[in-house]
Structure 1
């Protein structure tokens, strides 16, 4: 059974159709790279998966559980949607770290807020805090930031901030980790360190959806590549098929632009 099933997702903003009948699936441990020109709907798709936007139509399933059904109003209640977001972790283009918190505090914050909702939190407060703290230290160490955990975002490079953001997303142990152009806000010399972390996560069989303009990275790290154009999935398949033997002329034109520069 696929870990993620996306069926006939549609999304419009006023009279503009942004997503048009989007369907795909993802197996546990796989990586899908989503490529396409700006404005093709890639980021909107990620935002719909994370419930930052609500689709107008379609069905989303994770591990066989229906998280959203456009024909069932019960799946659109806000209280339920907050729980469903926990299936996904999202790493934004511009980090979105809280500037008033250290790297460590940024990674710990969401887990601590969730812990406070547990009925036994007061009785186990110290034990829970120590557990969350140890997890945050381990994640920052995994990101190569053990010596930066007490730094604030303004004291970190862009690449370091993005790695803190990845650690923060991993802290809630999501089923699927999503990246929205994770290197687009970085200087070229900092891009490599973030891509290296993502590649290591792929090697650890982390299930991921990556929206990216890094074509070589998309080809090398993904099990599946999706090419979006004008709100549609125009082409999808394994990297060799999409990059070396595309079926659609629009795909060939898009890839040719990147090959040429």
Structure 2
């Protein structure tokens, strides 16, 4: 029996299949095998709200094409992150040839495959200290948008010219964002500064921008982890994907809570 998720649930409700049969079908539905080298988690977005993410950096080009075709045929959103620069243009051409709807970002080789980006009402602010941090921030943006969140982005507002920050802080507060992502390299101080100015959860992303003693993001990571401002959480160096997923989860849960609260007041 080959059923999609909706058909399985409808069949269970109508008594056409047993609970054990439904459980078996759902477990089969959750994983899609690709020959002997990959297993796609096709129900991740239904289960967790986060789409399947394919880490492409070390994958062979032919294998990557097979993964993309299979994943896009089974789920409405797939992120392919860190595509090898030698493969990136080929993947773009391959996507156009196969009429796959793609969303790209500045200074990143991560691609979001999605026919339609829905909206949950969640809002995420994404800030960077410098232009060198934009690629990581754009990865976070693509993840957030794949999860239905609107992103309010502002780049190159680091503490070397701290006066650039204050109009942006006013904007994210006015936009009533649910969470803020801050990407910063060098000493990573921007995350602490932003966290000290708002009553909004802040996710710090240390970027691998820097040289010398604290090179490759080490100083930024240490600085964020030892921040004296409260309300700041920190992910790994260059982990825009993880920051985006966490931020969108926070934003979407906040929207659901607000909706239930408003409904309870009117009932």
- Regarding TM over 0.5, the answer is no
Q: Which has the higher helix share?
A: 2
**Highest relative contact order (Cα 8 Å, sep 6+), 1 or 2?**
1
Q: What TM-score does the superposition give when structure 2 sets the normalisation length?
A: 0.29
TM-score (norm 1): 0.30
